[in-house]
């Protein structure tokens, strides 16, 4: 089984820590990791990260985290950067941004940064839009772990149980990512699946959120970014030259 | 004769900076189960730390077969042991200690 962690928060400024985090991911059994990058990052740094991942047998996925304040800002960001990254996620800070992100086909992942019910916008309308556009709901497990450390888990579990239920009923793919910035926040994929037991998620659903769903997002985008891609279902097979 | 309570043995790896005593590891697991599932859940879990090797950071935990999903979830939720940041990973699960040691030997 190929386990994927689409959200490993590396900072190459602290290269040692970044290398430790990548090595820990490989040790815990992941085969593909997604790293959020700044749009202004130098290609040499990306190549260096890719090289470290290659050495450890990890597939490196470039990811862009957009945190727009308005839907206009989101559209501008997507227009500018979509084709430079393999995965694009949107941190939904308002309902307008969440709705725009859910209906835009260029958005891969919808993220909510807080467990405050007023800041999580995955209701049935949002799920319906996300289902039609193919956007997935991403859940950062580091956020869950630190949330449990800070306060009682009752609110967190209730919220997540409801959200995952809505996502499931509308066939919105769910992705579990680590969201870890330190090695001690990383867990084995099977441990994340076990943790999902707390929000009434079956083991098969949890494993899909760590394997099949993220793999599908990356493969779909890699196809779209390849040179022979024209439109959904259309790609260049052979070019003929006119004499 | 069949045993009344079926058990599961979990091989654990503890990641933490600094030395740890087996009591601290056991307390962290107990507290995690208590916090998430309460006293009824903890009483059903039948937890017992069979072995802890601080040098290898390796532990073996016994729990009731029916409480396995609960115990695994609680173990994954551990972020501190004592006051130190920590993580506990489940390496293997088995029905007998003998099979567990064989499986972990194969893995390592």
Instruction: Please say if the pLDDT value at position B107 is more than 70.
Output: no
Give whole-number Cα distances, A91 to A210, A215, A232, B98, in Å.
20, 21, 26, 48
Q: Which of B75, B79, B89 sits opposite A145 (nearest CB)?
A: B79
Going from the N-terminus, what domains does chain A have, and what CATH number goes with each?
3-235 (3.20.20.140)
B72 → closest Cβ in A182, A185, A194: A194
Write out pLDDT tens, residues A1-41: 899 999 999 888 888 889 999 999 999 999 999 999 999 88
Q: How many CB pairs under 8 A join A and B?
A: 50
Chain A CB contacts of B86 under 8 Å are 184
Compare all CA atoms of chain B with the CA of A186 and give the residue at the minimum distance. Answer: B87
Among A155, A176, A198, pick the best mutation site for testing chain B contact (most B Cβ within 10 A). A198
Of A149, A183, A191, the CB nearest to B76: A191
pLDDT at A128: 95
What's the CA gap between B21 and B86, in Å, rounded? 13
User: pTM, whole model, 2 decimals?
Assistant: 0.90
Confidence of residue B1 (pLDDT cuts 50, 70, 90): low
Report the 10 Å Cβ neighbour count for A152. 10
pLDDT of residue B3: 64
May I ask the CATH class of domain B7-107?
A: alpha beta
Helix (H) or strand (E) holding B4: none
Angstrom distance (rounded) from CA A62 to CA A209: 19
* Domain boundaries along the sequence of chain B: 7-107
Which of B8, B87, B89, B108 is the best substitution to test chain A (most A C-beta atoms within 10 A)? B87
CB B15 within 8 A of CB B88: yes
A→B contacts (Cβ < 8 Å), by residue, are 28, 145-146, 148-149, 153, 182-188, 190-192, 194-195, 197-198
What does the pLDDT look like over B52-72, one tens digit per residue? 998 999 999 999 999 999 999
Where is pLDDT greater, at B18 or A23?
A23
Listed as ranges, residues in chain A with pLDDT below 70 are: 242-243
Span B23-42, pLDDT tens digits: 999 999 999 999 999 999 99
| Statement: residue B108 has pLDDT above 70 | no
Quick check: A191 and B86 CB within 8 A? no
């Amino acid at each position: 089984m190929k386990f994927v962690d689409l959200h490993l928060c590396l900072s190459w400024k602290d290269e040692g820590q970044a290398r430790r985090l990548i090595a820990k991911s490989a040790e815990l059994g992941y085969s593909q990791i997604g790293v959020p990058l700044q749009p202004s990052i130098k290609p040499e740094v990306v190549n260096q990260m890719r090289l470290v991942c290659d050495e450890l047998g990890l597939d490196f996925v470039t990811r862009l985290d957009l945190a727009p304040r308005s839907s206009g800002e989101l559209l501008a960001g997507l227009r500018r950067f979509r084709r430079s990254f393999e995965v694009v996620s949107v941190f939904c800070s308002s309902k307008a941004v969440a709705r725009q992100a859910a209906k835009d086909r260029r958005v891969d992942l919808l993220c909510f940064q807080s467990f405050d019910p007023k800041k999580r916008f995955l209701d049935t309308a949002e799920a319906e839009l996300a289902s039609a556009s193919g956007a997935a709901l991403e859940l950062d497990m580091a956020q869950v772990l630190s949330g449990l450390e800070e306060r009682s888990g009752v609110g967190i579990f209730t919220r997540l149980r409801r959200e995952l239920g809505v996502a499931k009923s509308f066939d919105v793919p769910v992705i579990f990512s680590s969201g870890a910035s330190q090695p001690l926040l990383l867990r084995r994929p099977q441990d994340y699946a076990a943790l999902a037991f707390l929000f009434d998620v079956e083991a098969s659903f949890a494993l899909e959120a760590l394997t099949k769903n993220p793999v599908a997002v990356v493969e779909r985008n890699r196809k779209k970014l390849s040179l022979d891609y024209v439109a959904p279902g259309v790609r260049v097979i052979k070019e003929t030259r006119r004499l | 004769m069949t045993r009344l309570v079926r058990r599961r043995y979990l091989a654990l790896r503890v990641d933490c900076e600094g030395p740890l005593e087996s009591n601290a590891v056991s307390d962290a697991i107990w507290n995690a189960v208590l916090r998430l599932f309460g006293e009824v859940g903890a009483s059903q879990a039948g937890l017992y730390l069979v072995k802890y090797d601080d040098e290898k950071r390796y532990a073996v935990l016994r729990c009731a077969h029916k409480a396995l999903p609960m115990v695994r979830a609680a173990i994954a939720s551990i972020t501190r042991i004592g006051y130190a940041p920590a993580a506990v990973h489940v390496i293997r699960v088995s029905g007998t200690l003998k099979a567990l040691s064989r499986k972990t030997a194969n893995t390592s």
